[in-house]
Chains A and B, each alone.
Chain A
Amino acid sequence: MLKYVLKRIGYMIVVFFAVSFLMYCLYNLIPQDQARMELEPIKSTMKPAEYQARYEELRKEMGLDDPIVVRYARWMGLTKDLKGNMKGLLEGYFGYSRYFKQDIVEVVKEPIKNTIFINIFATILALGITIPLGIYCAVHKGGKIDNFTQVLTIVGYSIPTYIIALVFIYVLAVLLRIFPVSGMGTPGANYTGLKFYTDRLYYLCLPLIVMTFGSLGGMTRYVRASMIDALSMDHIKTARAKGVHEKQVIYSHAWRNALLPIIGIVIGWFLGIFSGSVIIENTFGLSGMGSLYIKGLNQHDYELTLAIQMFYTVISLVGALITDLSYGLVDPRVRIDK
């Protein structure tokens, strides 16, 4: 087991460096002159000669004329930066955001908190509904509720989240005025304690409903299909023939078998709490990782977007390892010591 984990970690390091180099090169292929962008706001306050001098100085300061491998090594922290410090990704320094004019760690602080806050609720809510619903539909296959759920989930699965969000906003916020259209809290309210959380949850209700509705389709159908497969297995028939209680057949015998294909997705969902939903966050005006990522791209702040992507790369690599390990835990037939 330990040997397997160490081997996987070794692979992860190789993949991490390969991905980081590829992504760094890709972002640097984008044609833009960062020094020019930096100086553009004050260009009109300078005479041309001064502008040119400042421009060249800035290019040097930013190391833009160095070969890409040198810049990558500097960014990664494999070599000293232009100020002579070992300060890169490997040293825990995620870089500097040109748009926010701040260290990236500072920039992501608030958005990642918001994203985690939203996603924890969304994930629990979605799993809390989809798993029981999927099981129920599988057990009562062909029943009224199953048919209704099939229609509902196919609708939720087919319609883009963006459209779902706009429809829900129109109905629940504009027509019925139950929830606010967007935002994360009552403007200027300065609530504290419980009131703060209820206010925050009130504002997040609509995004959570949309996120949950959008994710119902896929997961419910997946659980249902997995359970139907499990319920058709011979040992289930045997258990029933032996007179085992139906609840025990479903939750003890069938569910454990159905869990194997689902567990990867469930773990993925939990790891996904760090990544923001670009569409939901932008539609509801939430300050999260998704909207930050889009802002970074729109503002050509590639050091920021690169840092976010590297963070997700690490999460994905760790997630893949955890998923593989969990297969072994759930299903003794899966051996993970090789």
Chain B
Amino acid sequence: MKKLLAVLLALLVLVGCTGGNGGNEGNGGSDVVNQIIYGSTTELNGDLGNAWWGNNASDALVRSLINDYSVIVSNQGGEFIENKTVTSGVTSVVNEDGSKTFTVGINKGLVYNNGEPITAADFVAYALVAYSPALKEAGGKVSPDTVVGAPEYQSGATNVLSGVRLIDEYTYAITINPDYLPYYFDITYASLSPLYLPMYASADLTVKDDGEGAYLDGGALVPEELDATRNIYKDRVSAGPYQLEDLDLGTLTATLVINPNYAGNFEGVKPSVEKILVVKAVQETMMDQLETGAIDFLSTLTDGSEVQRALDMEATGNFRTVHYERNGYGAIFFQCDFGPTQFIEVRHAIAYLLDRNEFANTFCQGFGSVVDGPYGLAMWMYKEAKDELAATLNSYTYSLDSAVEELKAGGWVYNEDGSDYVDGSGLVRWKKVTAEEAGDYQFNKTLADGTILMPLHIEWSSSEGNSVSELLAVMLANGDQTKAAGMEINQNIMSFSDLLNYYYRDASEGDQYGVKTYGMYNLATNFSAAYDQSYSYTVDPELLAMGYNTFFSVDNPLLDKLSMDMVYGVESGDNQAYLDVWVQFIQEWNRYLPAVPLYSNVYYDVMNAKIHNLECNSLFDFDQAVVYATVE
């Protein structure tokens, strides 16, 4: 017995000691000092097939690190610019039929990581693969509608992509469907990336153009072959700052080394960190991983205790942090076409009844802020219009009196029996409503004289295990001030998918979801560099039925117009016009208040102190910022 135990212990110690050498290499005593081990809480799936199939965050990071040379890129401020390393210039012309053709010149001398040259044909090949019927059959999801001729090409009706032209060895042109113009971000339509065709097809395909449009000559794309490219890890041909050395799904690790043939990013900057390892970071122990040297970098920490620990670690001098505002926010989202939340005064009252500063401070544990509209503090529009917004937006400062005033002004001045409401009675307020306003809201009451009364009772849908919901329940739904105002908010906890079905009123998943049930939801959202809110406030009944306007702000055509005009009514490049509409949109949104913004986090990146000049922000991610970083 003793012998057996001794043998087992000895075996463990032996393994620990012999394997320990390997482990120490990863624990900071590495042979390769000039490297960054990036800890990602999202497991690698190993899908490197562009974003056509999946959108796993770790896969996307690897894809971005090994693929660059997009003609149009976003810079540190989220502005779309021409990538001068790649393009000699982008010109555009509006055609007679309203379509717009972008002609793009490609710089000479660009090569893939294997040394083969990149020409305009490689950019055209990207479009020919992306819009191909074979890719669609292989499960790739690409919308062809923006490019002229792409829908016909994708359907297999023709093998010529008429909207994409190979002009010469270093020039291509792309024509945009007039239905999508004018569009403020239309420059992004001109953007293609190089695609190494031999990796995507066994046939000897070449890109040709006989004057009618680009096409593939020498064979056809095969769905199975396209699908297989997603998992090519050995000798993968790419054109980015890094190249893939290894991707091991067993250990969930991607190893990337500098691409010696990389010409630089949009500012001509080349990476100096020799190796990047993308590894799995476990949420519960990732700070331990960082502290023990198993990883060097963690991004976008928001949890207060984690941020505090990161700051404590920074105080030791062995780590550093970088923080920036989130380009997004968490909010209470209303549905504005039924029940009490259809009335603007009720939405205002809810905003007044919640101490949003206290909420943000508590939820973000000191690492967050409050916004008064659907914007992020890092946006260039916000920075430009900051003073104007500060002067014109209502911040709905916490005030029971203001909430009561709003409710009184909105007609919430009755008791259940139609008698006058007495402030401070502790009862729920009622309002006389028209039959149209009453709709089929289940809590309405009709008096003997036919008067319809609606109670100030709001059904709230919140997802299970959600700390925002828990805090909202305490600070709003069950708050004394809410009761004192004569309001009742009933929390309904459900799964997130259930919540979304109600939110989208998706009757295809069950008749119950098509019924107007919950007036408020708590959710969070992020904005991309292309701030495009089109269709999100549509008043078109058909689009509403398709789930485009989840606020159901059917009584506000102005919000719809502004959100559409902002992108579809402004020519690209006209930043002032865009900004003007954007400010009007934010102001109208703030007045109408289809949502009450709750918090916007401050993100913290924490890294080993050996890393310098790695300055990410919410519009400039690690994959873009790492080329500026050094390891010392």
Contacts and interface: CB of A to CB of B under 8 A. Distances in A.
Interface of A: 30-33, 36, 38-39, 41-42, 44-48, 50-52, 54-55, 59, 99-101, 110, 113-114, 125, 128-129, 132-133, 136, 166, 169-170, 173-174, 177-191, 195, 198-203, 205, 209, 282-285, 287, 291, 295, 300
B497 A183 contact: no
B294 interface: yes
Contacts of A174: 288, 291-292
A277 to B, nearest CB: 14
Interface string B24-55: 01110000100101000001010100010111
A203 B141 CA distance: 38
A36 B25 CA distance: 46
A191 B250 CA distance: 13
B98 interface: no
Given A101-B139, A132-B4, A188-B275, A202 B19 contact: yes
B281 to A, nearest CB: 7
B280 A182 contact: yes
B282 interface: yes
A291 B4 CA distance: 33
Interface in B344-381: none
B1 interface: yes
A221 B548 CA distance: 60
Nearest to B281: A285
A30 B494 CA distance: 12
Contacts of B252: 183-184, 285, 287
B142 interface: yes
A114 to B, nearest CB: 6
A209 B547 CA distance: 51
Contacts, number: 190
Given A36-B506, A187-B279, A178 B16 contact: yes
19 contacts: A31-B497, A32-B497, A36-B547, A41-B55, A42-B143, A44-B532, A45-B145, A46-B143, A47-B179, A101-B54, A181-B288, A181-B294, A183-B253, A183-B294, A188-B32, A188-B37, A198-B22, A199-B22, A282-B282
Contacts of A51: 546
B497 A30 contact: yes
Contact of A191 (B22, B54, B142, B285): B22
Contact of A295 (B43, B230, B249, B277): B43
Contact of B279 (A52, A59, A183): A183
Contact of B288 (A42, A170, A186): A170
A299 to B, nearest CB: 9
A198 B18 contact: yes
Contacts of B35: 188
B285 A189 contact: no
Given A50-B143, A52-B546, A187-B277, A284 B20 contact: no
Given A169-B288, A188-B246, A300-B497, 9 more contacts: A31-B510, A48-B546, A100-B47, A100-B54, A174-B292, A180-B292, A182-B289, A187-B279, A205-B15
